[in-house]
Amino acid sequence: MNNTFSIKRFKLLFRKTIAERPVQTIGVMALLLVLSLILYVAAKELAGFNAAQNLSFIWGLAGGGFFMASFVFGYFGTNASGSSYLTLPASYLEKWLCGILIAGVLYLIIFLLFYHLMDIAFVEAYHHSLDPSSLSYKQQYDSVYPFDLTGRIAGKVYAMFLMLAGAMFTGALYFNKSAFIKTAIFCCSIFLVLFGLNWLTATMLFGHINDAGLYNHVTLPLGKEEATLLMPASTESLFLTTTLYIIPAVLWLLPLIRLREKEF
Amino acid sequence: MIEVNNLSFGYKKGKPLYRNLNLHLPIGSIYGLLGKNGAGKSTLLKNFTGLLFPKQGELLVNGFIPKKRLPSFLETIYFIPEEVYVPSLTINSYKKLFAPFYRLFNEERFYGYLNQLDVHDTGKLNTLSFGQQKKFIIAFALACNTKILLLDEPTNGLDIPSKIQFRKLISSVFTDDKMIFISTHQIRDLENLIDNVIIVDNGELLLQASIGEIGRKLSFKTIDNLSDETELLYSEPCLKGHAVVVENKTAQEGQVNLEHLFNAITENPAKAKAIFNTK
């Protein structure tokens, strides 16, 4: 018997994970998609297309990923379910891969497909609602276009998704009870500490400042004007590499080690 | 087979729950692990299943190191904790999803055990009473045909008829190629079921002996007057005088009273260890 990975066992585990808690997996996934739709519609009415696209993409992907990730390893709320999960005859690699596949890959693909179709449908409907004989037709038409899933904003949201989902995968295996809330608090605390330290450092260096973007820029007042100091390219690149690749990689791989080392 | 050599375990540094525990448990017996609340019975079972890791010493279960939790090891044991987990599935769906992980699972026996325990398919498992859920898991665990079955307080939550059904079922399914390990503080529930007794207290192994050996080395009897016996291990007043436990100096094997045995051993650990040569 292969104790590291068996495709047959993995299929069984995958089927079991989905079917054992359909409400948490399929149900929550469907709910997150519906919420993204509602958010899109509401934001479109209140703040326009651009805000609707950005807001629903951020909350749907990064927020939804965080939420989905809390379920796949969320067996440790009770002694009984935790024991049952850890003693199920499957390797920790299979258990890790199964969780990652559901919340990290499957949800990402389903959300992107849903979001893209929804976005195209709304944009098409808008374009069709315009009067081609109107003088501002071209301007109105060009003001709304489908959200670019390979663009700069999307890239930042993917990074957020990787970071938040990874944090939740790890949190679910470190905090046994109320892992979702504890991880959310932990993430917020880390962000606030980093933001605070960044602001403090900038204030110590430059005195009065208008803004300090986290390891990105500092905005200083210059009379009635303001000037922005960007971080040196090499330092910024180091920061980006860390946040885009190193931290997410650590957060996604840590659960694999944790599953092997976890005592319950 | 479970081999424990100089095992130490503790939840907090400097506060060991077990110190240098040694056990040699061959297959082919029903073991009863007895201990007071908080003595570490569940902890020991969790060490056996790989849910907790020993801090020191060596532990081998079916030739595997449990902490590695290899699938080939997990397939040979089934652990039923005190509180069982059943998802929102029907009996059939549960069987379809969980049984394939155990290659020796026997479907026919599974339904037979359910029948014997009076568990009937009445919808989702999580809507059943706690006792019914527990009986369902016991039936499933037995049908998995694992070499070792570990049960933590299995009779907690079972009504009196269910406890009897449980005892009957365990005795009827037990074969010489298996080991059943039951941890409990409800000693009477194990009467006439176990053939080996393990008693732990204060992180120490006080007794590991077969019922036969206990019957040969200790005598459980009722006497009129306590002063007739000089070396009492345990005594308690009863209707006909005093129920006592004393060292058996005759060669005759007597009936063992588990409750009295437990009290005798935990009240006189040093004496008990000397009688049974417990290391």
Q: From B71, which residue of chain A is nearest by alpha-carbon distance?
A: A89
Q: Is residue A151 assigned to a domain?
A: yes
Q: Is residue A188 assigned to a domain?
A: no
Q: Which residue bears the tokens 């506060």? A: B15
What pLDDT score does B203 carry? 80
Chain A within 8 Å of B92 (Cβ-Cβ)?
no
Q: Is residue A2 assigned to a domain?
A: no
Question: Least CB-CB distance to A89: which of B84, B85, B101?
Answer: B101
pLDDT at A233 over 90: no
**For residue range B9-67, what is the model confidence (pLDDT) as tens digits?**
988 877 788 888 999 999 999 999 998 888 889 999 999 999 999 999 999 999 999 99
Q: Is residue A197 assigned to a domain?
A: no
What pLDDT score does B209 carry? 93
Amino acid letter, residue A3 = N
What pLDDT score does B229 carry? 64
User: Of B138, B123, B117, B221, nearest to B180 (Cα)?
Assistant: B138
Contact A12 B100 (CB under 8 A): yes
Q: B203 vs B19, B21, B48, B163, CA distance in Å?
A: 6, 8, 16, 29
What pLDDT score does B14 carry? 75
User: Of B52, B58, B48, nearest to B21 (Cα)?
Assistant: B58
Question: Least CB-CB distance to B71: which of A20, A90, A260?
Answer: A90
Average pLDDT in the A101-124 region? 96
First vs last C-alpha separation in chain B:
19
Start-end of CATH 3.40.50.300 domains in chain B: 2-202
Contact B87 A88 (CB under 8 A): no
**Beta-bridge partner residues of B238:** B241
Amino acid letter, residue B248 = N
pLDDT at B230 over 80: no
Q: Is residue A29 assigned to a domain?
A: yes
For A252, the token pair is 């996604």
Q: Is residue A157 assigned to a domain?
A: yes
What pLDDT score does A87 carry? 96
Q: Is residue A125 assigned to a domain?
A: yes
Average pLDDT in the B200-207 region? 86
Of A32-36, A213-217, B204-208, highest mean pLDDT: A32-36
What pLDDT score does A63 carry? 94
Question: Strand pairing of A211-213 and A217-222?
Answer: antiparallel
Q: Is residue A165 assigned to a domain?
A: yes
DSSP for B64-127?
B-GGG--HHHHTTEEEE-SS----S--HHHHHHHHGGGSTT--HHHHHHHHHHTT----S-GGG
Neighbours of A229 (CB within 10 A): 14
Q: Sign (positive/negative) of CA torsion B98, B101, B173, A78? A: negative
How far is the C-alpha of A135 from the C-alpha of A113, rounded, in Å?
35
Of A40-54, A234-248, B219-233, highest mean pLDDT: A40-54
What global pTM score does this model have?
Answer: 0.90
User: Of B179, B173, B114, nearest to B140 (Cα)?
Assistant: B114
Q: What domain range is A70 assigned to?
A: 7-177
What pLDDT score does A51 carry? 94
pLDDT at B185 over 80: yes
Please count the structural domains in chain A: 1
Contact B53 A263 (CB under 8 A): yes
Residue B189 has what DSSP assignment? G
Contact B101 A20 (CB under 8 A): no
- Average pLDDT over chain B, rounded to whole? 90
Provide the shortest C-alpha distance from residue B36 to chain A (in Å). Answer: 20
What pLDDT score does B238 carry? 86
pLDDT > 90 in chain A, percent: 72
Tell me which of 3.40.50.1010, 1.20.1050.10, 3.40.50.720, 3.40.50.300 is the CATH number of domain B2-202.
3.40.50.300
What pLDDT score does A231 carry? 84
Contacting residues of B for A20, CB less than 8 Å apart: 87, 89, 97
Angle, vertex CA A174, rays to CA A257 and CA A179, nearest 5: 135
